[in-house]
Structure formats: C-alpha cells, structure tokens
Structure 1
Amino acid sequence: MNANLKKSPRNPQLLLTAGAATLLVGGGAIAYWFFSRQGQLSVMPVGANVIPQDALMVLSVTTESNQWRQMREFGTQRSQAAFEQTLTQWRDRLLTSRGLDYGRDVQPWIGKEVTVAFLPPQAGIDNSNPAQPRVTPQPMMMVLPISDPLKAKQTLEQSAVAQGKWAERQYKGVQIRENQGDPAQSMSFAVLDAQEMVLTNHPKAIEKAIDTYKGGAALTGTPGYGDALTQVNAEQPLARFYVNIPAAANTSAANSTRPLPPQSLSQLQQNQGFAGTAILASEGIQFKSISWLKPDSQRRFDTRNNAKIMLNRLPSDTLMMASGGDLKRFWQDYAQGVSANPIRLINPEALKQGIKTTVGLDLEKDFLNWMEGEFTLALVPAQQGAPASLPAGLVFMVKTNDRRSAETTLKRLDETMAAKYTFKVEEAKVAGQSLVNWSLPTANINISRGWLDGDVAFLSLGAPVAQNLLPKPTSALAESEMFRKSTTSDLAQNNGHFFVNVDRLLELKNFPLLQLPIANRSALEAMNAIGVTASVTSDRTARYDVFVMLKKTDN
C-alpha cells in the first residue's frame, strides 16, 4: 500500500488525460446521436409528433401551388378531368360543405405540407351501447401546420359563426370544437400550441391525437422510420407516404372474410414499414421508396444484387419486362408469402400441380434446381408481317447454374409434348444458332426454346420472336432512351427491373391483357412509360425507385 501511495503524485496528470479523453469520446457520441436524431426529425412529415404510432397509413402532400400547377400540365384531357374531379370532391367534402374557400380561408395561413393519417378501424367504433354498436367511416386525421396563427384564428371564428353548429369542450387542457350535424359529416378539430391544427372525423380520434401530442407513442418513435425517410428524402417533394405493414396486416386479418394463415401473418409481422417520396420531374413523377424489417426480426434480405445481363439480351422495342437476380430464391419468397400478398398473379400450388399433371415434371426438382441465376419475363413485339392475332411474343429467360440438368429436363419436356399432345417438335437454326420449335399443325401455336451465350435458356410463346433474340439484339433494351429515362436511379447496384412501354402496349389490338375498365385505361393513357429499379441495400432494407413518364398537354 505504501508503495502505491508513493506513486500517487505521478497519477493525477494521467487521470486527467484519461478523463478528458473519456469526456471527448462520450461527448462526441452524445453529439453524434443528437445531430443524427435532429437530422431524422427534420425529414419527418408535418404532424409526425401528433399521429399515433399505430396509424395504418400516412400521406403528406405539398401545399405549394407551383407544384400543383406543374402537376396539371401532365396527362390527357380525360385524365386531367378525372384528377380535377378527385380534387373537387375532397375540396367539397372538407371545405365547401362548411362554408370555407381554400384560397380565401386556408391558403393565407397554412404551412408548406399537409398530412393525412388513416387510423385502425377500431378507433371509430362506439361501444357505449353494446346492444346497438355504431360503426363510423374509416377513422382519419389531418394535420395542418399554421404559419400565421392570427389568420388561422380569424378563419376558425368566422367558420364557427357561419355554421352555427359547433360545440366546444376541453380535453387535457386543449380546446376541441365539434360540429353537431350528420355523423357521416362529423368533424372535430383542435389547435395545438398555435403551431398545428388537427382535424378528425371522429371525437375519439381527436382525443388520441392529443394523447399522442402530450407524450403518447407517436409516428416519430417508429423503429427505423427516421433513417428510412433520410434515405429517400428530397428537397421539394410533391408527396410522401408511409405504410405500417404490421398494423395493416392485423387490420386486414381482423376484417377479412378470408383469414390469413398464421404463418403468413407471422411473416408480415417481421416487416416494419414501407415509405416513399414523390418528386416532380420535367417528364413525370419520380418515386423513391424503401421497405425495412423490424429491429428484432428473424428474417433477413439476401444482399446479392445480381441483375446485370438481361437488359442486353432483350431488344430495344420490348413492350414490357420484369427481371430479377435469382429465380429460385424469388419463387421461394413469393410462394412463402403469397397468401398475404394483395397481388396474387400466380397460385404457386396450382402451378406446381398443373405442371405435374400436364407434363409429369416437378416444379422444384426438375426446373427450379437449375434456375438459381438471373431471369426475365418479357413481352416482345412481333416482326412486320406477323398475323394480327399474334401481335407479340412472351419471352422467358433464365441463367442456369447447371446446364446438364437443364438439358435433361428440356429433352423430357420435348418428348412429352410430342407424345402426349402431338406437338411437332423439330430442330431449326436462326442466325446460325440451334433452337427447338414446337408447333401444332391444327392451331396457330408457336413455341421456341434455345440457348443464349451457352448458359441462358430461353423460351418464347406466341409470335415467333427468336429472330429478335439470336444471336443478340441489334439494339438492346439497355440502350433504349425510354427505358433509360424511366429507370434512372441513384442505386449503384440493382436486383432487377420492371418496365412498361405504356404507349406502345396500348396500341396492340386483340390482346387480352389490355381489356381494362375505362377508368384504369384513362389513367394509363396519360402515361408514356413506367420503370422500376429494385435493390437490396442491406440485410434489413430494400429500395425501389419508380419513374412514371407522363404525357403533357397544352390544356
């Protein structure tokens, strides 16, 4: 002990240095946390501190008139009329029916963004009388930032006098005004610290907003939300959105006539959210979106971004295409989550059983086992002179990891088609390369299969388009100006694309996929093309950049 005491005079400087270093490191960590937190809060939409964390969906839109004026330049006369009708319906529902005019009563005091949140249905259920439960419309709230409190106060007072049906009450020190008319037109609103006005269509929803504002679980506290918004942030967005995937899944499961299987619901619960930003561009609208998993999720994304070659294997006049990096993995993920997927293009079990029944082959063992590479499914236009009944050919390509197994399966397929279905199976050559054609003399059916670059198997159905693919396209899709513009993205690597040349696709006649309802067709007619670029950015996040190229009119 004495020895230690003798050494102690030398230690204060060392202790001071160590203490200073600890403070610097600790202070730096605190500063980093603070500023990163501030950065995340700065990208939050208006009202994120008022909107409850269990909100199903949140949509924020700009109030800047220049952007809406630019938006009105896009589309056709028919699509513009539909867009104008939608805006008019919202205006009449929220303002005109209450004696308000946006330009006169709202625009002078409103901030740069308005946020609408859709709440779980149970927030709109009044169970005060269980014998006669009353269900209101979808509970929702709107948050309007106040840039001029005095003008906002004048508008509210004028509205109250004009309507004459507003009642007032207090909730946790906040004054609430509510109209006493038709429950279907019910509205409650409150002003929070002269900064934000909250409007809801149900008295319980306004109380929930106040609870959230005063410290309840808010949208700002959603795990990963701030970081996700930072990755898709833009300086002047037209709109921003967020979907609470677990809450939406629970609501869907509780209110659906066809309940989700527990496994599918559990898989959806692994997700945290899907968010995005819409930005106006000179030729359309750019969407930057991101999905992410919960912090404690057992699920992980495959971080390989392998989509590289298919864009050079398709011709530049391709009408539609979808591609990915690993067909086997893609199918496994799709099949596992299909029951919870709102878009069910294919029933996995039906396809598997159909292949087994028709050709006696197993989907997983005989096909997917050699399909662990990049793939694409595309619609390629027929060459001039093709029959009017065959305006395009459907092309499937996949890079194989085992050509020997692929050849074995394809030969068995040839034999079955010839023996069981009396197809004429014969070899042919196109541009010096071998392929196999299947044809039915009694029907106008053309199927061709072959190989590209030695390890890419292809199959075409419909119009004969093998000449467009072999030995390689004269001009590739990757070189198409429309494709390049519609898939512009800041993602360095990608895991696939989706592309539609809407203009040319709508020109096809007698094509069953295009028999659309008038409302949907009018929206498509306003577009030139749609492009999507997908990328897995980490084992918990995936990005999707979408560009919608729109037509312009002088109207």
Structure 2
Amino acid sequence: MKSRFLFPTLAVVAVTFSLLAVTSWYWILSQSPLNLLEGGVTDYPSAAVFVPKQAPVMVSLLANPEKLESLSQLTVPISQRRQSHQEWQELKNNLLAQTGLDYYQDIQPWLGEEVTLAVTSLDYDRNEVNGVQPGYLLAIATKDRELAKEFLQLSYSQQAIANKVDLAFEQYQGVNLIYQRRGQNSKQPKVWASAVVGDFVLFANYPQVLEEAINNVQAVDLNLTHAVAYQNALKTIVQPRIGLAYLNLPGASAWVGKSATSLTPDIEQMLTVTLSLNPQGLVAQTALIGVAGESARTPLLTQPVAALKYLPSDSILAVAGVDLNDFWQKIVNGIDQDSPLAQFINQTLVSLQTPVGIDFAQDIFSWIQGEYALALVPNSDANQLDWLLIAEKTSTANTEEAIAKLDSLASDQSLSVGNFDVGNSQVTAWTKLKTAARNQLVSLNAEVKGAHTDRENYVILARSIETITKAIKPNHTSILEQPNFKKAIASLPTNNDGYVYLDWETGKSIFEQKLPIIRVVELAAQSFFSHLKSLTLTSLGSENGIRRATIYFNLDFS
C-alpha cells in the first residue's frame, strides 16, 4: 500500500521542485544582465501613456543602468573593467549633476527598468509674456513604491528647509502631487512637481506639465501610446532593444531653435529610433514616417556591391549602392539645407569639385544608374582628402559620352588632358602646368587635378594619381577586407540598399575640423565617442509609407 502512494508522492515532489527550479532560474535571469545578451528587451516604453501624442521628443532607457553596467563588466577585458566602472559612475553623476541628487543614495534603491524623458510641449503655458518655456517630464519606473514615496518626502523636506520654500500637497484626478511653492526671495526650484502614479515616479518642471501627464493617462486618445504614427513605426521595429527615441521632427527642430511654434506646421514627419546591444557595439533601428511620395519598396541588394573591391582599406568615408543619382536626390530632399550636416556636405563638395570646375551632382551623379562606390581617402597630406568614385557601366547610360564631357569641362578650365600608363592600365589625367624657378632655372611642373580610367565594367575617377593607383593596384587591400568594415557588414541586415561607412577612429580629426558641431556632441557623450571606432548606416527600403534604416556603431573597449 505504501508503494502505491510512494511514486505519486515522489512525482508531485519532483514536479514541485522542477517548477521551483524553473521559477528560480527565471527570476535569476530576470534580475541578471544576461537577459540583455540577445540585444535587449522586447518591451516598449510604458511611460509613453504620460506623454502627449504631439510631444516633440521622447527618449527612453528600457533597462536598469545597474544591469547595463554589469553586462559591460562581463563583456570588457578584465584589464578595462575598472575604467568601465568609472565611466558608468561619471555618467550617472553627470546626469544628476544639476538636480542635487545622489544616484546611489536617492535613486538606485527604488529604480526600476525604465527611465523616460520627454519634451511634452514647446511652451507649456503658451504665454508670450513670460517667453518660451518648454514642458519637461521625467518618468522613472520604480520597483518599490514605498521607497520612492519616502525619497520624495525626504528630498522635498530637505529642500524646503534649505531654500525656505513651502511644500504644497494637492490632489489632482485622485493623484497626490507634491511641489514647492516659492517665497518672494527664493530661487526657482530645480524640480517643481512630482508624484507617484502606478509604478512610475513622475517629475516635471511645472505642476501644469504633471497635470497634463495625468490627463493623458486617463484620456487614452491624448497619449503617445495610442498615436497611430507611433504604433505603425513600432510595428516595423521588432528587434530586442535597450532604448527608444521618438521625435516629431518639426517639433523637435522648433525645440532646438527655442521656438514656441513649429516653422513647418503642415509637415508631419516622425522618426523612431531603437537601440540594441550587439557583441561588437550597438545597433540602431530607425523608422521615418511622413516622407513625401514614399511608397512600398524592398531593398535592392542581397550582398555588398562589387564596386567596393576598388576602394582602399584606408577610406575614412565610403558610400556604396545602386543608382547614385537617386541616392543623391534623397539626400538633397531629405536634409534641411540650413542644417550643419547640409552645410558640411555642400562645403565638402565645393572643395572637391572647384579645382576641376565640375558640378558633381549634374556632371557625374546624374548618369550613374548602376553600382557605385564613393570614398574619401587620405592623401600624402594627412589633413587633406582625395575623392574616389567607382561607377558601373550600364546600357541605360552613355558612359563614354559622359566621360568625354568631363574631359571637355576640364579642358575648358585650362587643364591639360592627357593619357599615360599606370601598370597595365591607361589613365587619363587632368593637369595644370605650373612654372617654378630654382637657381635661376625655370622648370615646368604638372599638378594633377583629376584622373580616370576603366577597369572591367567600371569607370574609376579620382582626385589624384596616387588615389587612382591605390584603386587599381593588383592585390591591393580593399575596404572589404578592412576589419571594422567586415564587422559592420556582419552586424547589418543582408538585404539592404547599400552602405554609408564612417571610419571615426582614423578620420576623427578631419571630421572635427570640417564639422565643428561634432566637438559639442563629443563633449556631451564623451564616454561613447572614446570607444567608437566606426559607424555604418544602411537603408532597408520602405514599408507602408515608413522608411527604415539600420545604423551599426562599432565600439572597442580593449
């Protein structure tokens, strides 16, 4: 009789222990940074319910900073772990530098798995008399509501004593609000209002901003979570993530310009960006909504274009794909011509095309409809760049006629057009003859302004003989063999429209010189840029009017 009950009893015990083991293991993994190794989490920002659908900007961190730091400690070499820990400490301290809060004492004990910051409005009270005052909302998920409430009460009490301000307690829509009522001689508090709503602690720079956030939760049609454009963008980005940013581009532009209203209210363009972990760095997925004339389009390529094999491995900027004219038109139409990026592109083009009197967009880009690979390559002068362009010959474009026109344009600029051999290839060079006097003798020198040649089914054009020689030299090391570029290709989707590759490690000083705003960005994210080796962008076509792209950031912690 005993044996009849023994096996069922043992089975129940075994199942019970198995369930306990699975549950315990799941709990351990959920508390561990190892659950981020797949790239991040599958959640979207829960705090979006507090954010109005017309908000200019929302940025969310979807993982506890402690987990991210622990994961970084697991992935960086042992010799670099102390430095990595110091960088994380500096980041946490810098983020709270203007709040008077101590991260480890005030925030860490109750901090949950999400931190969301939003610009909720361009001018929260729409009052022209007191100037432009954007509304800011910070929503922090809490794993312990009671600890969070204790933190709020203690923090405000200390500030009230120190600043001699009155604490105001108010009920709004069933939520307890706490904010500081200023005295006549007191300074404006750094945080005006706060509340614990559900599993979030909310902070706002004005009580009205906090009240609006509570309204957004209760009237679902008002919040970002239920915005159609936001939902459509999220449907196209399914990879695990650790962060998400949502920008209403006209509104974000107005916020940056400190304007109370958008300069382009009739334009509706929204950009959603998610950030995922990668064994070699970070991957950003983007979804752009509101591009005029955008239709469904699948990626054109399933592998890197063959033209890349001619780009040297020391190229600091490389762009490759199909139909350069179409790519250029998208850049022209998609970038604000007054933006720093547009100015950088225009200045770079002018500096490259002026010596030969050629309009790149009209005289070169317009006829390249097949494969192309375009690069900026350092020349013998470390602070100068040469351009290199590889263009596939196609039946739809008269390549010979286009090249003959370039030779004619060079001749019109008083440049000599002549042929000579480089190895087994005949190269046509555009040269400017100069005289030089030395020891009462006059010599004649030829300064090369541009050159071109043919190789297989491609036309190769370059700024100098040195660069064109790099491209056609037998057994040369191409960018396809460059370690950073190979990592990028392996980390990006196979089906795409080509690549834009930036070798930050090599070209940093040149980029800083050409685009000074980069220095400002570097200061704001110094710990990131100190590890950045390269970045690569690829377009993934369009789906339901949403243009998608992926950016790979190659980081080095060795």
* Fold shared, TM-score > 0.5 on shorter chain: yes
TM superposition score normalised by structure 1: 0.74
Are positions 1:313 and 2:310 aligned together? yes
- Contact 2:460/2:468 (8 A) holds in 1: no
Report the alpha carbon displacement of residue 449 of structure 1 after superposing the two structures with TM.
1.1
Report the alpha carbon displacement of residue 212 of structure 1 after superposing the two structures with TM.
0.1
Are positions 1:121 and 2:122 aligned together? yes
Distance across 2 between alignment mates of 1:416 and 1:111: 64
Counterpart position of 1:207 = 211
Counterpart position of 2:179 = 178
Amino acid at match of 1:207: E
Give the secondary structure class of the aligned counterpart of 1:93.
coil
- Once the two structures are superposed, residues 383-428 of structure 1 have per-residue CA deviations (whole angstroms, 9 ceiling, x without a partner) of xxxx44687532122334458633223223323423x333221112
Distance across 1 between alignment mates of 2:513 and 2:337: 27
Once the two structures are superposed, the pairs formed by residues 130-149 of structure 1 within 5 Å of their partners are 132-136=129-133, 138-149=134-145
Amino acid at match of 2:49: N
Once the two structures are superposed, the pairs formed by residues 208-223 of structure 1 within 5 Å of their partners are 208-216=212-220, 217-223=222-228
Counterpart position of 2:374 = 377
Give the secondary structure class of the aligned counterpart of 2:326.
helix
Are positions 1:344 and 2:336 aligned together? no
Counterpart position of 1:448 = 451
Once the two structures are superposed, the pairs formed by residues 397-408 of structure 1 within 5 Å of their partners are 397-402=390-395, 405-408=398-401
Report the alpha carbon displacement of residue 483 of structure 1 after superposing the two structures with TM.
0.6
Once the two structures are superposed, the pairs formed by residues 141-290 of structure 1 within 5 Å of their partners are 141-164=137-160, 165-181=166-182, 182-183=187-188, 185-192=190-197, 194-216=198-220, 217-235=222-240, 237-248=241-252, 255=259, 268-269=267-268, 271=269, 273-290=270-287
Amino acid at match of 2:55: A
Distance across 2 between alignment mates of 1:526 and 1:360: 38
Q: 1:450 to 1:525 in 2, by over 3 A?
A: farther
- Once the two structures are superposed, residues 98-123 of structure 1 have per-residue CA deviations (whole angstroms, 9 ceiling, x without a partner) of xx433233222221111111122122
- Contact 1:367/1:406 (8 A) holds in 2: no
Tell me which of 470, 476, 479 is aligned to 1:477: 479
Give the secondary structure class of the aligned counterpart of 1:55.
coil
Amino acid at match of 1:245: L
**Corresponding pairs, count:** 484
Distance across 1 between alignment mates of 2:307 and 2:125: 50
Counterpart position of 1:461 = 463
Distance across 1 between alignment mates of 2:217 and 2:512: 54
Q: 1:438 to 1:301 in 2, by over 3 A?
A: farther
Amino acid at match of 2:176: Q
Q: 1:360 to 1:47 in 2, by over 3 A?
A: closer
Counterpart position of 1:335 = 332
Give the secondary structure class of the aligned counterpart of 1:43.
coil
Give the secondary structure class of the aligned counterpart of 2:97.
helix
Counterpart position of 2:495 = 493
Q: 1:180 to 1:463 in 2, by over 3 A?
A: farther
Distance across 2 between alignment mates of 1:361 and 1:502: 28
Give the secondary structure class of the aligned counterpart of 2:50.
coil
Distance across 2 between alignment mates of 1:190 and 1:404: 65
Tell me which of 525, 533, 536 is aligned to 2:541: 536
Distance across 2 between alignment mates of 1:360 and 1:308: 26
Report the alpha carbon displacement of residue 290 of structure 1 after superposing the two structures with TM.
2.6
TM superposition score normalised by structure 2: 0.74
Give the secondary structure class of the aligned counterpart of 2:168.
strand
- Once the two structures are superposed, residues 485-514 of structure 1 have per-residue CA deviations (whole angstroms, 9 ceiling, x without a partner) of 133335231112122223333588x99649
- Contact 2:281/2:553 (8 A) holds in 1: yes
Counterpart position of 2:415 = 423
Gapped runs of 5+ residues in structure 1? 1-40
Distance across 1 between alignment mates of 2:494 and 2:102: 47
Amino acid at match of 2:369: E
Gapped runs of 5+ residues in structure 2? 1-40, 161-165, 435-445
Report the alpha carbon displacement of residue 199 of structure 1 after superposing the two structures with TM.
0.8
- Once the two structures are superposed, residues 268-314 of structure 1 have per-residue CA deviations (whole angstroms, 9 ceiling, x without a partner) of 52x3x2222223344332223332348xx753265452462332332
Distance across 2 between alignment mates of 1:326 and 1:479: 24
Counterpart position of 1:21 = none
Distance across 2 between alignment mates of 1:305 and 1:481: 25
- Once the two structures are superposed, residues 142-178 of structure 1 have per-residue CA deviations (whole angstroms, 9 ceiling, x without a partner) of 1112222222222223223323342112222322111
- Contact 2:356/2:413 (8 A) holds in 1: no
- Contact 2:430/2:450 (8 A) holds in 1: yes
- Once the two structures are superposed, residues 296-337 of structure 1 have per-residue CA deviations (whole angstroms, 9 ceiling, x without a partner) of x75326545246233233233333212232222223233334
Distance across 1 between alignment mates of 2:58 and 2:547: 20
- Contact 1:321/1:379 (8 A) holds in 2: yes
- Contact 2:367/2:402 (8 A) holds in 1: no
Are positions 1:393 and 2:391 aligned together? no
Give the secondary structure class of the aligned counterpart of 1:504.
helix
| Aligned CA-pair RMSD | 4.1
Once the two structures are superposed, the pairs formed by residues 520-535 of structure 1 within 5 Å of their partners are 520=522, 524-535=529-540
Counterpart position of 2:319 = 322
- Contact 1:530/1:548 (8 A) holds in 2: yes
Q: 1:507 to 1:50 in 2, by over 3 A?
A: closer
Give the secondary structure class of the aligned counterpart of 1:344.
helix
Distance across 2 between alignment mates of 1:211 and 1:461: 61
Give percent identity, aligned residues only.
Answer: 19
Report the alpha carbon displacement of residue 209 of structure 1 after superposing the two structures with TM.
0.1
Give the secondary structure class of the aligned counterpart of 1:530.
strand
- Once the two structures are superposed, residues 344-401 of structure 1 have per-residue CA deviations (whole angstroms, 9 ceiling, x without a partner) of 147889989x98998598954x54542223333212345xxxx446875321223344
Q: 1:44 to 1:122 in 2, by over 3 A?
A: same
Q: 1:106 to 1:415 in 2, by over 3 A?
A: closer
Q: 1:361 to 1:230 in 2, by over 3 A?
A: closer
Give the secondary structure class of the aligned counterpart of 1:178.
strand
Amino acid at match of 1:495: D
Counterpart position of 1:300 = 295
Q: 1:350 to 1:525 in 2, by over 3 A?
A: closer
Give the secondary structure class of the aligned counterpart of 1:494.
coil
Distance across 1 between alignment mates of 2:383 and 2:428: 20
Tell me which of 427, 436, 450 is aligned to 1:435: 427
Report the alpha carbon displacement of residue 219 of structure 1 after superposing the two structures with TM.
1.2
